Amino acid sequence: MVFYRLSRVRLLAKQYFAFLRTARLLMIIQVYEVQTQSEADQLISLGVDHIGSVILSADTWKNPVLKDMIRTVAEMGARSSLIPLFSDMDVIRLTLEYYQPDIVHFCEMLPDRRHQPEAFDRMLDRQRRIKEAFPQIDVMRTLPIPQVPCHHGSSVLDDARLFEPVSDYFLTDTLMVSNDLPAHSQAAQPQPVSGFVGITGVTCDWDLAEELVAATTIPVILAGGITPDNVAEGILRVRPAGIDSCTGTNARDHRDRPIRFQKDMNKVKRLVAAARQAATT
């Protein structure tokens, strides 16, 4: 009975958020990396819509505390988004069965389709299988966008077209590249988390993000270096369905470095206010 009620709450929340997005009445605000109930409660009270969490490895996929947090997020009327930082399909299935998040978020580096077509097709097939096995869970796909304009523009839009049928959301996040290198090696630059895209603290190419918004029917979440100070400009430039912040709303240590898994609630409050105001402009 409890499971039925929770499923019903999630279904109604999903339909409500979908209506608001379609009517352009809602700017989705998503915040990562939230691993505790206390932070989730505070973020929801500040107006955050999507609470993003991370499973750091396939060896430590089962966390009862995080499972309880995800259930409570649903009960509070917000939505949970879960990133598995691994690619093993069997463990991903176990993870989704255990946590039952509202959204599963895949943020791996995408293979170059010209040189690794089979690897790219495997990613597409995995999302297709996930959607078939878990129709109640939305799929979010990160599309890596360079922090500077470069040759990747057309490939991002092509990748989006291929992922559209198996995705419910796209998220733009920053791919660290160097224009000092030849075009064929730009994507090989080290990322903060090897093999994955994100937590750079650097904005992506907003012109390309704007092109993506215009080109796709999938709601696009603007991420990559989003802070309380630039979120309004990003919304007005790109006109996304939502925004995502991780590093830009983290607490800072004594050397002014972002602290993972620890949010600065004052920054989040300012981010929410600025995003809501910009969305109505």
Tens-digit pLDDT profile for residues 81-101: 999 999 999 999 999 999 999
Distance CA 33, CA 260 (A): 7
Distance CA 78, CA 219 (A): 17
Number of domains in the chain: 1
Burial label, 113 (beta-carbon count in 10 A; 0-12, 13-18, 19+): middle
Is pLDDT at 8 greater than 60 in this prediction?
yes
pLDDT tens column, 126-162 = 999 999 999 999 999 999 888 766 655 568 899 999 9
pLDDT tens column, 156-174 = 899 999 999 999 999 998 7
pLDDT tens column, 39-86 = 999 999 999 999 999 999 999 999 999 999 999 999 999 999 999 999
Range of the domain at 97: 2-279
Cα–Cα distances (Å) from 171 to 24, 48, 107, in that order, read: 18, 17, 9
Question: CATH no. for residue 13?
Answer: 3.20.20.70
Is pLDDT at 116 greater than 70 in this prediction?
yes
Distance CA 263, CA 95 (A): 25
Percent of the chain with pLDDT over 70: 79
Residue with tokens 């389709």: 113
pLDDT at 145: 85
